[in-house]
A and B are shown apart, each in its own frame.
Chain A
Amino acid sequence: MKITYFGVRGSIPTPGKELVKYGGNTSCMLVETDSAGDFIFDAGTGIRECGNYLMTKGSPVDTKLFISHTHWDHIQGFPFFVPSYIPGNKLKVFGPPSDVQKLTIKDIMAMQTNYEYFPVRVSQLGADIDYTDTAEGIIIEEDKFKISACKLNHPVNCFAYKIECDGKTFVYGGDHEAYRNIYRGDESCDFDEEFLLELDANADSQNQKIADFLTGADLVSWDAQYTEEEYLAKVGWGHSSYESDIKLAKSAKLKRMIFSHHDPISHDDVLTEREDKYKKIGLENDIEIVFSKEGMIVELN
């Protein structure tokens, strides 16, 4: 299993000379397998280069795209995914429907190419594209591979995907903030301590469910946007801190974790310093931690 990062930045593309080492394209990665073809995870601006790479592998391109959620930084590159324009290519898109507006993933992907936003409509794309709404559990299983999904905590319907193929297991996490009892510390809340403890337990059980989903994975790529200090100023924004990721990795008994979805304000020097720091903390906890970089390739053999 070969994993290539084409976009590692969170929130918004960040060009600039201080952001070259880790890269400025938003979330996209490619998983190439020996026995089951290629799988793309998320369609941030990194998917443009991902598409160009797939074109060099030969035609027709026949691949699957898994969207973690439909915030801009995870779908914005889709109109620039060249293989989708070419007749004969095949693309299966899986992604979350809108839980509030009752829109399918197909509806949402089409909306970003409305007349006002983009000159080519999704309906004009030449490739054979079909769309499936993601729900928790196994979403596709064939002889050589299995993909399952786990709901995450983000301010929109969002999923992590687990791919099991060629004897290896890899998890791609979408954006996620550890579940917490949102009523603790709420000054206008009059719940008694007993009820607050019950709600603590409810949040804990949601976090445990995610840890259980990750347990057994050879590698997990996860949202790591902030330090704990930064996180405390951004509680409820739907992202993780390095510290909470290490806690999750320990809970899931992981050996390897890739920190990704870097904050737009985290320049190369900041991320380099943090990578050194958290690699050491990871080793102290028997976890190999790597910060994702655009173009980085990880082989799982």
Chain B
Amino acid sequence: MEYTIEEVLSKVESELPSLSPTSAKVNQLANDINCAPSELTRVIKLDPVLSMKVMRLVNSSYIGTPNKVVSLEKAIIMLGMNTIKNLALSAAVLGQFARTHGKVEVFSIDEFWVHSLSVGVTAKGIAVHRGVDKRIVEDYFIAGLGHTMGLLVESFFYPEEIMEVVEMAPKMGIIAAEEYALCGLNHCVVGKALADKWGLPDTLSMVMEHHHNQEYDGTHKELVLTVALADIICKNNNLGLCLDKVSLPIEDVLLDTLGLDENIESEMMKSIKTEIDKSLEFLKI
């Protein structure tokens, strides 16, 4: 069944719940009156949904910020700990993905979470490797963390349809193409529409829309291509969810644009798993 972008966006207004791997820790910290700012920040940065909600709030129209805020730390300074805690708790009240919603568990939320986090960590790692300005390195992490929010939204509101896409995957290969064929939309289009509706920074909007385009040549090119590269590296190394059923080659044009060579994949793989393990350890309560 096809659905339109307007239908998806109208459903998003009913709000998205938090992700199960982080929700227990989020609850623990948000209910702790003495919670350290860095601890709360760390757990929010491990939850793509919560991170995007903070970005939505700090960039909303009731605050006349002249430039869009991309840094989560700056957003938390501007919004204050109490607002962030209550935002986190209100997301928790909505339940958890895949445990309370729908009849179909389209994919493992734990796997989705590992993929999102891995792409964030890898994108940041690539940025550091390339000597990107230190002041914007964290932007690469946030962009990687939230790059595939569109898929989460689709699976939440249209689980049967996305399930059909997933089942078709072995025949067709790349999930983004299959979504188009079966649903009339794909998670890239949905992600961009969501980012625009929520007033998220252009960087996030562009990443959500173009993270499968290795030849992307538009605004925020380096960021978009870095996340695209991180996405492929994580999928090819089985780091979390991968619905694409064909191996994804890294194209020369992408590596050339970023001034990298094929060794970047093995270079990144040295540290990603350690970072994921550290995060899992932190989330234990």
* A interacts with B: yes
Q: Which residues from chain A sit less than 8 Å from chain B, CB to CB? A: 96-97, 99-102, 133-137, 151, 153-157, 179-183, 186-191, 194-195, 198-199, 202-203, 206, 236, 238
Is B64 in contact with A186, judged by CB distance below 8 angstroms? no
Q: How far is the CB of A222 from chain B (nearest CB, A)?
A: 18
Q: How far is the CB of A223 from chain B (nearest CB, A)?
A: 15
- B213 contacts A by Cβ under 8 Å: no
Contact of B64 among A97, A136, A153, A195 (CB under 8 A): A136
Is A133 in contact with B62, judged by CB distance below 8 angstroms? yes
Q: How far is the CB of B199 from chain A (nearest CB, A)?
A: 12
Is B74 in contact with A182, judged by CB distance below 8 angstroms? no
Contact of B90 among A101, A180, A203 (CB under 8 A): A101
- B57 contacts A by Cβ under 8 Å: yes
- B251 contacts A by Cβ under 8 Å: no
- Tell me the bound Cα distance from A231 to B38 in angstroms: 22
Q: How far is the CB of A128 from chain B (nearest CB, A)?
A: 25
Contact of A188 among B39, B63, B80 (CB under 8 A): B39
Q: How far is the CB of A204 from chain B (nearest CB, A)?
A: 11
Is A136 in contact with B82, judged by CB distance below 8 angstroms? no
Q: How far is the CB of A153 from chain B (nearest CB, A)?
A: 6
- Tell me the bound Cα distance from A86 to B87 in angstroms: 38
Q: Mark B190-203, 1 if CB is under 8 A from A, else 0.
A: 00000000000000
Q: How far is the CB of B46 from chain A (nearest CB, A)?
A: 15
Contact of B62 among A99, A181, A186 (CB under 8 A): A99
Q: How far is the CB of A211 from chain B (nearest CB, A)?
A: 15
- Tell me the bound Cα distance from A238 to B83 in angstroms: 12
Is B38 in contact with A206, judged by CB distance below 8 angstroms? no
Interface SS majority for chain B: helix
- Tell me the bound Cα distance from A188 to B42 in angstroms: 11
Q: How far is the CB of B87 from chain A (nearest CB, A)?
A: 5
- A96-B62, A99-B60, A156-B82 as given contacts; A203 in contact with B77, CB under 8 Å: yes
Is A188 in contact with B38, judged by CB distance below 8 angstroms? yes
Chain B 47-79 interface residues, beta-carbon cutoff 8 Å to A: 57, 60-64, 71, 73-74, 76-79
- Tell me the bound Cα distance from A102 to B13 in angstroms: 10
- Tell me the bound Cα distance from A135 to B39 in angstroms: 30
Is B39 in contact with A156, judged by CB distance below 8 angstroms? no
Residues from chain B with a CB closer than 8 A to the CB of A203 are 77
Is A135 in contact with B62, judged by CB distance below 8 angstroms? yes
- Tell me the bound Cα distance from A137 to B90 in angstroms: 28
- A183-B37, A194-B134 as given contacts; A202 in contact with B83, CB under 8 Å: no
- B168 contacts A by Cβ under 8 Å: no
Is B38 in contact with A186, judged by CB distance below 8 angstroms? yes
- Tell me the bound Cα distance from A194 to B73 in angstroms: 14
Residues from chain B with a CB closer than 8 A to the CB of A183 are 37-38, 41, 73, 77
Is A136 in contact with B63, judged by CB distance below 8 angstroms? yes
Residues from chain B with a CB closer than 8 A to the CB of A102 are 15
Q: How far is the CB of A188 from chain B (nearest CB, A)?
A: 5
- B270 contacts A by Cβ under 8 Å: no
Residues from chain A with a CB closer than 8 A to the CB of B76 are 182
- B108 contacts A by Cβ under 8 Å: no
- Tell me the bound Cα distance from A183 to B38 in angstroms: 6
- B135 contacts A by Cβ under 8 Å: yes
Is A202 in contact with B77, judged by CB distance below 8 angstroms? yes
- Tell me the bound Cα distance from A191 to B138 in angstroms: 12
Residues from chain B with a CB closer than 8 A to the CB of A186 are 36-38
In the complex, which residue of chain A has the Cβ closest to the Cβ of B91?
Answer: A100
Residues from chain B with a CB closer than 8 A to the CB of A179 are 77-78
Q: How far is the CB of A197 from chain B (nearest CB, A)?
A: 10
Contact of A155 among B39, B57, B71, B82 (CB under 8 A): B82
- Tell me the bound Cα distance from A194 to B80 in angstroms: 22
- A97-B62, A135-B62 as given contacts; A198 in contact with B135, CB under 8 Å: yes
In the complex, which residue of chain A has the Cβ closest to the Cβ of B71?
Answer: A202
Residues from chain B with a CB closer than 8 A to the CB of A190 are 38
- Tell me the bound Cα distance from A134 to B63 in angstroms: 10
- B28 contacts A by Cβ under 8 Å: no
- B283 contacts A by Cβ under 8 Å: no
- Tell me the bound Cα distance from A180 to B74 in angstroms: 10
- Tell me the bound Cα distance from A133 to B62 in angstroms: 9
- B31 contacts A by Cβ under 8 Å: no
User: Given known contacts A97-B62, A102-B15, what 18 new A-B pairs fall within 8 Å (CB)?
Assistant: A99-B60, A101-B86, A136-B63, A136-B64, A151-B62, A156-B82, A180-B77, A181-B77, A182-B76, A182-B81, A183-B37, A187-B36, A188-B39, A194-B134, A195-B73, A199-B74, A202-B78, A236-B81
